Structure 1
Amino acid sequence: MSEAASTRTPVALLPSLSPLLREWLPRQRWFAGKGHPVTGFALVAAVELLPVDSVGPGLLHLLLRVRQPGQALGLRTTAGHPPSALCEAAAGGDCYQLLLGVRGAVPPYLAPALIGRVAEGPLAGRTVYEGLHDPRLAGLLLERLRTPGRFGPLRFERAAPVPGGLRARVLDAEQSNSSLVYGNSLILKIFRRVYPGINPDLELPLALARAGCGRVPAPIAWFESDTPEPCTLGVLQPFLRGSQDGWRLALKALADGDDFIGEAQALGRATAEVHTALAAALPTVSLSGSQTRHLATAMNERLDAALRAVPALLPYVRGLRAAFDAIAGATFDGDGRAQRIHGDLHLGQTLHTPDGGWSVIDFEGEPARPLDERRRVQPPVRDIAGILRSFDYAARSYRPWNPAWAARCRAAYCEGYADASGSDPRAEAELLRAYETDKAVYEVVYEARHRPDWLPVPMSAIQRLAGPAG
């Protein structure tokens, strides 16, 4: 089946793959629909990056809509415009990016990547597997990124030269996406669930690189699809070899009985530098009363849903609502602005590099939220609240619990942020408290559903945040 044929036979291709994908997809860590049966598929786009009818392995790139029970069938317009084609696809199921290897038979080293043998259709008799685990196919992706241009519906771009001949390995730690590390010098993040529009994990690091901010690895190359409309599929950046993420570093400090004040203060400065650069590179707005009312309403709605899911929150509901209602209609002078932010910042999204500095990574935002929501301007204290909650989690995940350690880290982080930005986030106490409370409510629901043994961690924060402000 040639590249040209791949556009002629999608109707036959998908039914032949469906039985295999229906079993394989729900087992993948990045699949967001776990716990719900897959009821159908629709092919959004298909292209052969390497022909699948040759003697060697082929590489089939798919954008695939996955249908599951309970997904919304209705569509909302945005600013009076009709929903986009990919949004229409999303209304009938999430759209996923798949890179499938195709061989007559897989060698033993690829056995863990096996999807299955195709029984009928254009790939009948061939074996299909997760292509990223095949070094040859992973190397082909790097070669495509080295040479900008189009390949069917795919478009490859680069901002700097890309070295070749680097052996690839899959990074096992990834959750909502997949990543390939090339020769310990480059990392390619491949977005699994895709949405129309530019992904913030490309948009924001590009803006920061153009602004001269060295706290974020600059994109070197990326690839996109324009069928049925533009969407970001993958980003290649420097791999910060020898770095340690902030979460593991904090846990090590706790285990060794060390404080984390210097590191926390430096991380606060790094966060402020990123926020300052984003505010200079992209539009900002002043927080209006209508915007803060909208924030408070959304937070209260999330609390309502959480109360239904976790009745243990009920004794604290009055204090929690008070935290949200305190910002409803409020306006903020001076630094009360909304701008582009990270959107999902916590210690695990930071890297402490071998030279002792901090880098911030993974600007995708919360993957479960719609892309247009993740790209909205928001108050910078939302990011700060995420880090403050992360210090609390670290302290309370170690035995014996050490809330005093978290309090010192929180103070040091805010001091570092103030030193670099000229604005102490603690001066926006009501807004910061509201975002911390909203985050803690989310954490309670998550832990109740997935890790009940961890529920005391966010519940201790709920008790603190529901008390009198100040």
Structure 2
Amino acid sequence: MTSLGERNLTERDRGLTAALITLLDGDVPQPFGLRRFQQLPSFSHQDAGFHPGVPGERAFGEHVDQTNYSVVVGDQIVVKWLTPPAPMPHPAVDVLAHLVEAGFNQTAPPYAALTLREKSGEVLLALVTGYLPGARDGWEWCVDEAEAGRTAFAADLGRLAADLHLALATFPGAGPPAGPLRAAGRAERALREALDLTEGDDGRWLASRAGDLRRELAPLTAPITTPLIRIHGDLHVGQILRWRDGYAVIDFDGNPTVTEAEPYQPAARDLAQLTTSLEHVAQVAVKRRGTPPGQAADWARAARGLLLDAYRDRLAERDGRHLLDESLIRPFEIEQECRELIYAARHLPRWRYAPMGVLRTWYDDTEETP
């Protein structure tokens, strides 16, 4: 078991994950540790296929959870084995524990975190959460919405994001800025890197708009006065599942591509990443579904407006208006597109079409400025 997080599971590991689940209600022997969030569901073992009294298990499939390795147990529980194990403290463990305490339930139910004490310190081996029947992530269901021209879902996402931020705003350590944030410098570095890494016609076009982009980033040079909360850190439509009973936000591991990101930031940071992901969905619909570009751009604009309106309204309903500084949304959106270009250049070149498509949509009708 100690090696499971270091590699993908194989056929010889069949049954280990399910067997682990049956042991989690009891004491966990050293050097393992267990942090429990909620009571595990009970299992009916009648469908066990490989061992009497143990629930069946199956993999999610090759197309899901490429970074780690997830196993579905008894169609009730998901065990995500971290590959490789991650050092503790781990952001997901603390955030999930807090969300349970805060009463936020629009996520896959968190049950437990399995850790291992090594000579070098404690590491996180696995996260145990609930299985959501019929779940599809936003890179599937949201592209369907864009292709069909439907936008009503965006209000649900706005309320979901607001409820999440209201819960995270009570995380210990949240509050007014204690000193200057590195937001402006971080955004300028992202822009410079995107300019350096983006080649060809896209690179020349991007360079021609550098002045516009820098002006959009200017609000980040002013002192940030909005409260800093424990943000999700990687909030895009791919982290929002649509399942049998609604929507659920998942993956509180933080942004794996931004090592210097502070865990406490303005809520606008998350919100900007979520709105830009709608723009990316529109680009995916153009490229993969043949949606006309103008229609996709109109859809993204309408969906973004509905999401923001619902987000504001929910904050207002719950006395949370102070959490959002709207002047930060656009500069964080620009920074996010720069980070998408950096990610494409370093890891996934075929993705470049999406952020470039968004930026061209935003700026192609404006005069080029130095």
- Smaller-chain TM-score bracket: 0.7 to 0.9
**Is residue 171 of structure 2 the alignment partner of residue 315 of structure 1?**
no
**For 2:170, what is the secondary structure of its paired residue?**
helix
CA distance in 1, matches of 2:196, 2:322: 32
Percent of paired sites with the same residue: 26
Contact 1:144 1:156 in 2 (8 A): no
Deviation track 1:114-166 (CA, whole Å, cap 9, x = no partner) reads xxxxxxxxxxxxxxxx3476322222332343433223x22134342454522
Query: Which of 376, 379, 383 is residue 263 of structure 2 equivalent to?
Result: 376
Query: Which of 337, 340, 343 is residue 440 of structure 1 equivalent to?
Result: 337
Matched residue, 1:346: 236
Contact 2:283 2:358 in 1 (8 A): no
CA distance in 2, matches of 1:216, 1:378: 21
Matched residue, 1:462: 359
**Is residue 15 of structure 2 the alignment partner of residue 62 of structure 1?**
no
Contact 1:320 1:465 in 2 (8 A): no
Query: Which of 306, 310, 316 is residue 412 of structure 1 equivalent to?
Result: 306
CA distance in 2, matches of 1:133, 1:263: 43
Query: Which of 354, 362, 365 is residue 254 of structure 2 equivalent to?
Result: 365
Contact 1:202 1:219 in 2 (8 A): no
Give the TM-score normalised by the residue count of structure 2.
0.82
Counterpart of 2:3 in structure 1: which amino acid?
L
Deviation track 1:420-459 (CA, whole Å, cap 9, x = no partner) reads 1126799734311121111101112333455555433312
Residue 369 to residue 231, structure 1, CA distance change in 2 (3 Å):
farther
Contact 1:155 1:223 in 2 (8 A): yes
Higher-Rg member (1/2): 1
Counterpart of 1:160 in structure 2: which amino acid?
Q
CA distance in 1, matches of 2:261, 2:24: 26
Matched residue, 2:15: 136
Matched residue, 1:216: 107
Q: Which has the higher contact order (CA 8 A, sep 6+)?
A: 2
Output aligned runs, 1:174-193, within 5 Å. Answer: 174-193=65-84
CA distance in 2, matches of 1:444, 1:425: 32
Q: Which runs of 5+ in 1 are unaligned?
A: 1-48, 50-60, 64-96, 100-112, 114-129
Contact 1:433 1:465 in 2 (8 A): no
**For 1:387, what is the secondary structure of its paired residue?**
helix
Counterpart of 1:378 in structure 2: which amino acid?
Q
CA distance in 2, matches of 1:161, 1:234: 15
Residue 432 to residue 289, structure 1, CA distance change in 2 (3 Å):
farther
**For 2:180, what is the secondary structure of its paired residue?**
helix
Counterpart of 2:209 in structure 1: which amino acid?
Y
Contact 1:391 1:409 in 2 (8 A): yes
Counterpart of 1:329 in structure 2: which amino acid?
A
Deviation track 1:5-38 (CA, whole Å, cap 9, x = no partner) reads xxxxxxxxxxxxxxxxxxxxxxxxxxxxxxxxxx
CA distance in 2, matches of 1:376, 1:296: 16
Deviation track 1:371-426 (CA, whole Å, cap 9, x = no partner) reads xx566201111111111111111112222221000000000001111111126799
Contact 1:184 1:239 in 2 (8 A): yes
Aligned-pair CA distance for 1:191: 1.5
Matched residue, 2:223: 330
Give the TM-score normalised by the residue count of structure 1.
0.65
CA distance in 2, matches of 1:144, 1:315: 60
CA distance in 1, matches of 2:16, 2:126: 15
CA distance in 1, matches of 2:39, 2:111: 5
Counterpart of 2:338 in structure 1: which amino acid?
V
Query: Which of 394, 415, 420 is residue 281 of structure 2 equivalent to?
Result: 394
Counterpart of 1:447 in structure 2: which amino acid?
A
Query: Which of 107, 116, 123 is residue 231 of structure 1 equivalent to?
Result: 123
CA distance in 1, matches of 2:11, 2:212: 49
Query: Which of 153, 162, 166 is residue 263 of structure 1 equivalent to?
Result: 153
Counterpart of 1:318 in structure 2: which amino acid?
G
Question: Once structures 1 and 2 are overlaid, which stretch shifts more, 162-171 or 406-415?
Answer: 162-171
CA distance in 1, matches of 2:189, 2:11: 40
Deviation track 1:321-350 (CA, whole Å, cap 9, x = no partner) reads 222232213333xxx111101110111101
**For 1:148, what is the secondary structure of its paired residue?**
coil
Matched residue, 2:33: 155
Aligned-pair CA distance for 1:241: 0.9
Residue 254 to residue 304, structure 1, CA distance change in 2 (3 Å):
closer
| Structure with more of its chain in helix, by fraction | 2
Matched residues, number: 336
Aligned-pair CA distance for 1:254: 2.8
Residue 358 to residue 282, structure 1, CA distance change in 2 (3 Å):
farther
**For 2:133, what is the secondary structure of its paired residue?**
coil
**For 1:180, what is the secondary structure of its paired residue?**
strand
Residue 374 to residue 133, structure 1, CA distance change in 2 (3 Å):
farther
